Chain A
Amino acid sequence: MRVGMEFFIGLSAILFCLGLYGALSKRSAVMILMSLELMANAVNINLVAFSRFVTPKVMTGQFFAVFMMVVAAAEIGLGLALVLALYRQTQTIEVQFLNELKG
């Protein structure tokens, strides 16, 4: 059995939705960051799949995936730093207590 590009895009979509669910529902800031990483991964799978099936020779999608990882790494680094700063200030990382934007 062989599978085509649709399979990987579907995998990516499912993974993205799982990450989305996590980002929407989790109360721990760390869990939200982890869910964001899942979403970034889903996007990367997408990129690499397109690279494999559409431009196998020049590998554009792969380069994008690598840069994506760079950005994701920066994001997770900064995000975790934020979580630490937050924790130091409020002694909690539960986002339901972070409602200073309340109107």
Chain B
Amino acid sequence: MNYIIAIPLLPAAVFGLFFVLPRRIRNRMLYLPLAAMAGSFVLSIPAFLSAWPGGEDAVRTGTWHVAYRLGTIGTGPLDVILRLDPYAAMMLLVVTIVGLGVQIYSLSYMRGEERIGWYYAVLSLFTSAMLLLVLAGDYLLFYMAWEVMGLCSYLLIGFWFTDNAARNASIKAFLVTRVGDVGFAVGLAIIWVTVGSFDFHAVLPAATTWGPGVATAVALLLLFGAMGKSAQFPLHVWLPDAMAGPTPASALIHAATMVAAGVFLVARSLPIFEVSGVAMHAVLLIGGTTALLGATMGAVQYDIKKVLAYSTISQLGYMFLGLGTGNVAAGLFLLLTHAFFKSLLFLGAGSIIHSLHTQDMREMGGVASKMKVTTVTFTIGALALAGIPPLSGFFSKDLILDSLWAGHHYVAFAVALSTAMLTAFYMTRLWLRVFPGEPRDTKHAGGHESDWKILSPMVVLSVITLGIGFSAIVFAKFIAGEAAWPQLVMGSTSTLVALVGIVIAWVLFGGGRDTEERTARSSFVYLLVSNKYFLDYPYEHIALGYTRFSEGVNWFDRVVINGVVNGVGVACRQGGGLLKRMQTGRVQTYQRLVLAGVIAFIVIAVYLRGV
């Protein structure tokens, strides 16, 4: 069973190797990260099977674990634990499948890139960290992998660092997620103080004995960390900007896996949240707000990647909604299906961008006639996201709506339904702008279908998207959650809502119409939404204030600190000039000084000892 260690280790080894190799050589060794990724995938299959059929016991005890003792803090032993349980097994497959797909895709998408070797190295490191995160059996290792992913995210967003936007976006992403990480770290500290262990299996059962105060504090702090990573309101501002990175990296990191880490953290720590009722409500509140906000903002974007980014934010909020009802299966099943259809959508968008050399939807159009495979796969992904049966998105959305209704969270339910409608709306808007009709801009008319390296991952992902929805019941059993087949009322309601969204979008944008340009511009709501609810402004003001403060510090540094330092230097030189006179070069001067020193020492010694 110890082969499981190799799953995260293989990509990590590739990163280590690429890190030391010169660029010229590693650029030619791209088969290596691919092979490592494939190896991880192959090893994940028996790992998954070993966790099969999952269930209550498997979740509680795990089916395999290995622990390394790092040392002791105070009296408590500090262990690093890798543990395979159904959660981890499921995520292993998701991460390796999407990761492998993205790596194959990148071969074509990033071809000719000067630093492609580094790109693959970071991609490998990221995959390794994500695999480590899902396998982590304790909060410490989880946190470590979490931070490594943050680093990789930073590196990949800023991959084209000569571009100002990309550089700023990478810094923004790093700093905003860091805000959340502080909460996570403080939460970990409280956990350590309270339990004396980081082991999930020690912390989570112990959580039931905590007072509501401690539980609420820890849960909210963990939630804060998850909000940063999963781009939840109000820490969501980094994710749309993160689209400045390479599209396949966005697909892997900012859609399928890393941003799901926050959801995964909450899912793992759900017992703590359940002890504190407040935290559960906070999860619902954050999730609902984010879902709705993300969906509305996604509805007015012109950049195809930004639409998908806001959609990701919205869907992550949806997952939180699911977790907030206490139904792990609902949240994680959306995580699973979303990972596949959202990476499919991103890869599709990448294929279109690669072919048309633009990200602006106003310049697109008529893609359907030139890029057949992309069109079909993208449409599957879009329908899945919109929640049209029988695609995977429908089932996962239904699970969440079901548990919201069953939990009597009617407000959240309404929010979720509206989000579902908006989701269908913006995906239709996107689809209508990009695929049918004629190219709107002749500059970007020369579209052509991408090669098989780009298409094959998309085809595989769309097949998965088509089929995986039916596994809801099995999945829920596997991770010891609850799920049922969609009820007729609920299923038809959500479908109907989605159809309403599609119809509205068709009315507004069908047949090449563009009502947005003419009418919506004057609307207050449109202004509000298209400016991202002005949510970036507080951040900008904070940043501006910080810049002022930095300038002040800089001034202080330049004038005062530098002055002191230079003053010390000058004083030393002057003092040296004076002291130089003492260096007469005459032996007897030195003798006298030495003697004076000796006398001083003797006097001090006599004085102290009182001889």
Contact = CB atoms under 8 A, between A and B. Distances in A.
Contacts of B587: 95, 98, 101
Contacts of B591: 23-24
B518 interface: no
Interface string A4-26: 00000000000000001001110
Interface in A64-103: 95-96, 98-103
A95 B586 contact: yes
A96 B595 contact: no
Contacts of B111: none
B588 A95 contact: yes
A102 B584 contact: yes
Interface residues of A, number: 12
Contacts of B586: 95-96, 98-99, 101-102
A103 B577 CA distance: 10
Nearest to B587: A95
B592 A24 contact: yes
Contacts of A20: 595
Contacts of B583: 101-103
Interface string B565-595: 0000000000000001011111110011001
Nearest to A103: B583
Contact of B585 (A23, A24, A25, A102): A102
What bracket does the count of chain B residues touching chain A fall in?
10 to 19
Nearest to B592: A24
Nearest to B586: A99
A4 B517 CA distance: 118
A37 to B, nearest CB: 16
Nearest to A25: B588
Interface in A1-57: 20, 23-25
A20 B598 CA distance: 13
B584 A24 contact: no
Contacts of A24: 588, 591-592, 595
Nearest to B591: A24
A99 B585 CA distance: 4
A9 B588 CA distance: 27
A102 B582 CA distance: 9
B578 to A, nearest CB: 12
A100 B585 contact: yes
A96 B580 CA distance: 17
Nearest to A23: B591
B588 A103 contact: no
Contacts of A25: 588
Nearest to A96: B586
Contacts of B592: 24
Nearest to B588: A24
Best-surrounded residue of B580, B582, B586, B592 (most CB of chain A within 10 A): B586
A36 to B, nearest CB: 11
Contacts of A101: 583, 585-587
What 7 pairs between A and B have smallest CB-CB spacing? Answer: A103-B583, A102-B585, A99-B585, A101-B585, A103-B580, A99-B586, A24-B592
